[in-house]
Amino acid sequence: MQLHYSLLGKYPNIFILHGILGSGQNWRTFARKLQSRLPQLGIALIDLRNHGRSPRGASPHTLRACAEDLIRLSADIGEPDIVIGHSFGGKVALEFSALEPPVQTWVLDAPPGTLSEKPEDQSEVLRVIQSLRSVPTPLEKRKDLIDILMVQGFSRAIAQWLTTNLTKGSDGYIWRFDLKIIEELIQDYFQRDLWPMVENPMPALDIHIVRAQNSDRWTPESIHRLQALEQCSVHRLPHAGHWVHVDNPQGLCNLLIRHFPS
C-alpha cells in the first residue's frame, strides 16, 4: 500500500503527520510558512491510512500499522531527518521513531498516555464519530453537512473542517474514509501508552514534546509527568489551543526552527 503525499521541495527532509479525521492538506499553509524560512528543506505532507487520498489499508488498524506504512513510504521517497506529528499523528510519529529513528521527532499536543486518564476526551471524539455516523450520505451539497453538524451543537469552524472529508460521488457527496476504520484507529490511540518510550527513550532518539498553553488535552497528572521528563525536550507553545498550527503558526514555526538539527 502506498500512502498519498504532497511534497514541497525536492527531497522530503521532513514528514508532517496530521491528526485524526485530518489530512496532509490541513498543514499546507503552515508548511509553506516553514519552508519560506528554510527553503533548503523539503516537506512531505502525508495522508495517513484511511485519510485524505490514501488507501484504507489492511487490518489491523493501529498506530503501529500507520508507522509501518510510513516505513514503506520512506523506502520509496527517502527517509526523513525530522518527523512532526500532531495529536493522533504525534503518537504515530513516536511509533515510527521506535522502529526507524529519524534525527529528530516532534510530538505536537499529543499526551503520550492512554486517554482513560481523561475520559471526557474520549467521549468528545466518540461524539464526533457518532454524529458523522448519523449523517445521511450522499449529500447534495457540502453546506448540508455544516447545517447538520451545527444543529447538533458543533461550531461552524469544526463543521467546515469536517467537510474536507467529503468527496463527490456519482449521487452526491460521500465520506472519503471508512468510519469503522476511523473508530479502530482512535480506539488504539486511546489505549496505547507511550509514556515508557518518552520517559526512557532509546539513546538515538531526540524527542521534542510541545504542549499548547491553552490545550484541554492534558490532565494535571499528565502535565506533572511531562515536566518531570529528563531525556526528552519539553516546550510550551503560548497563545495556542490544541490546533497549534492554526492558533499560533508563527510561534510554532519559530520553536521548530530554533531547535532543528543543524
Cα–Cα distance measured from residue 35 to residue 41, given in angstroms and rounded to the nearest whole number: 6
pLDDT of residue 66: 98
Per DSSP, 53 falls in state T
Helix, strand, or coil (residue 57) = coil
Encode 6-38: b = buried (16+ Cβ within 10 Å), e = exposed.
bebbeebbbbbbbbbbbbbebbeebbeebbeeb
pLDDT of residue 30: 98
pLDDT of residue 127: 80
The residue that leads in pLDDT, 114 or 51, is 51
Neighbours of 95 (CB within 10 A): 21
C-alpha cell at 107: 510530538
Closest CA to 99 of 244, 5, 197, 169: 197
pLDDT per residue as tens digits for the range 110-159: 999 987 655 555 556 778 888 999 999 999 999 999 999 999 998 898 89
Give residue 255's Cα distance to chain centre: 18
Q: Are 218 and 210 in contact (CB under 8 A)?
A: no
Q: Residues with Cβ < 8 Å from 56, sequence gap 6 or more?
A: 49, 50, 177, 178, 181
Cα–Cα distance measured from residue 195 to residue 112, given in angstroms and rounded to the nearest whole number: 5
pLDDT per residue as tens digits for the range 208-248: 999 999 998 898 999 999 999 999 999 999 999 999 999 99
Query: Is the model's pLDDT at 98 over the cut of 80?
Result: yes
Cα–Cα distance measured from residue 77 to residue 81, given in angstroms and rounded to the nearest whole number: 13
pLDDT per residue as tens digits for the range 63-85: 999 999 999 999 999 999 999 99
φ/ψ (deg, to 5) at 16? -115, 130
* R_g over Cα of the chain: 18
pLDDT of residue 118: 54
Phi-psi region of 172 (alpha: psi -120 to 50; beta: other; left: phi over 0): left
pLDDT of residue 229: 96
Q: Are 210 and 109 in contact (CB under 8 A)?
A: yes
Cα–Cα distance measured from residue 115 to residue 135, given in angstroms and rounded to the nearest whole number: 26
Report the Cα–Cα distance between both ends of the chain, in Å, rounded.
Answer: 33
Q: Are 208 and 232 in contact (CB under 8 A)?
A: yes
Mean pLDDT over each residue of the chain, to the nearest integer: 94
Greatest alpha-carbon pair distance for the chain in Å reads: 55
Helix, strand, or coil (residue 230) = coil
Q: Is the dihedral of CA 72, 73, 76, 78 positive or negative?
A: negative
